Structure 1
Amino acid sequence: MRVVWGGSRDPTTNQAIADFVANHIEGCERGFADFTTMGVIDAGGLVAGVVFHNYAPEAGVIELSAASTSKRWMTRSVLKAMFGYAFDEIGCQMAVLRVSERNNGMVAIAKRFGFTPHSIPRLRGRAEAEIIFTLTDSDWRAHPVNQR
């Protein structure tokens, strides 16, 4: 697994990763605005992407949206790059994920990584709740992936 970055220095890669993520998230047809991306390459192709968006520097908060075609993409080095960008490089104190209550896989992953869930009924429409997951920098630093 190899990490690649988009962002303002590489707008073509940035948009390609954002499009990959948007195309793999139901209800994300409008895509993203004002974002930076991180992609994960395996066997020569993009297998996962993370979009960092809705950045509020005054609050130290950023939202992450991610998608993948491989369950193997969340390696220790990828996780450290992903959260290192949010917490170390741009100095956020909290990362936020928005996840459908029906996305059992992502709900389980978020809980495993120490995110705190906040369920909001009807946030994805009349018949679907959305879970807002929050992860503070101190909770991330205390996670076992950072303990060696």
Structure 2
Amino acid sequence: MSIIWGGAGDPATNDAVAGFVAAHIDGCERGFADFTTLGVAEEGRLVAGVVYHNYSPEAGVIELSAASTSRRWLTRPVLKAMFGYPFDEIGCQLAVLRVSEENRGMVDIARRFGFTSHRIPRLRGRQEAEIIFTLTDNGWRAHPVNRR
């Protein structure tokens, strides 16, 4: 697995990774605005992506949206890069994920990584709740993946 970065320095990669993520998230047809991406490739093929969006530098908060076609993408180096960007590179104090309560796989992953959950009824429409997950910089730094 290799990590690739999008962003202003590589707009084509940035758009490709964001398109990949949007195509794999139900209800994300409109895509993203003002974003930076991290992609994960395997044998030259994009298998996962993370979109960093809704950045509020004043509050030190950023939202992450992610999708993958491989269960093996969340390696230690990917996790360190994925959370290193918001917490170490741009100085965020909080990362936010919005996940359908129907997406049991992602709900379980977020809980395993120490995110705090807040269930909001109807946030994805009349019939579907969304879970807002938050992870502080302190919570991330205390996570076992950061121990040697």
Given the two structures, how large is their TM-score scaled by the length of structure 1? Answer: 0.99
**Is 1:11 the equivalent of 2:14?**
no
User: Aligned equivalents of 1:31 and 1:127: distance in 2?
Assistant: 22
* Equivalent in the alignment of 1:115: 115
Structure 1 counterpart of 2:120, one-letter code: I
* Equivalent in the alignment of 1:38: 38
RMSD: 0.3
* Equivalent in the alignment of 2:144: 144
In structure 2, runs of 5+ residues without a counterpart are none
The superposition leaves residues 36-81 of structure 1 with CA deviations (integer Å, 9 ceiling, x where unpaired) of: 0000011110000000000000000000000000000000000000
The superposition leaves residues 65-124 of structure 1 with CA deviations (integer Å, 9 ceiling, x where unpaired) of: 000000000000000000000100000000000000000000000000000000000000
* Equivalent in the alignment of 1:61: 61
Aligned residues: 148
User: Aligned equivalents of 1:99 and 1:74: distance in 2?
Assistant: 17
**What is the DSSP-based 3-state SS (H/G/I as helix, E as strand, rest coil) of the residue aligned with 2:27?**
coil
Structure 1 counterpart of 2:131, one-letter code: I
Structure 1 counterpart of 2:49, one-letter code: G
The superposition leaves residues 18-51 of structure 1 with CA deviations (integer Å, 9 ceiling, x where unpaired) of: 0000000000000000000000011110000000
**What is the DSSP-based 3-state SS (H/G/I as helix, E as strand, rest coil) of the residue aligned with 2:127?**
coil
Given the two structures, how large is their TM-score scaled by the length of structure 2? Answer: 0.99
* Equivalent in the alignment of 2:75: 75
Q: Which runs of 4 or more aligned residues in structure 1 lie more than 6 Å from their structure 2 counterparts after TM superposition?
A: none
